[in-house]
Amino acid sequence: MDNPNTVEEWGAYIASLNGPKLFSVATAANSLEFVRELQGEGFSNEDITNILLMFAMRFRKVDLDPPVGLPGEYLSYTDLLDSISR
């Protein structure tokens, strides 16, 4: 599948993910390599943070713990969730 082209398309795609697929895609998305790819496609840092936040919120919605301590992790999903809980 090609990457979604807008933040809204990312939101719709992330909302369709569950279980192992969610974990796999969210893990891959939270890497510096992927962030650089999104930057190359014209996404701003704010857009990228919002996309990662959508992954974090999806974990909460489906009652799964987000991956933590990933090697090369760009942002902590747990910290993102904490930032919106305050």
* Whether pTM exceeds 0.95: no
Query: pLDDT by residue (tens digit) across 65-79?
Result: 999 888 888 999 999
Query: pLDDT by residue (tens digit) across 6-38?
Result: 999 999 999 999 999 999 999 999 999 999 999
Q: Phi and psi at residue 76, in whole multiples of 5°? A: -80, 125
Where do the domains of the chain lie? 7-85
CA angle 43, 65, 7 (to 5 degrees): 20
- CA distance linking residue 75 with residue 84, whole number of Å: 14
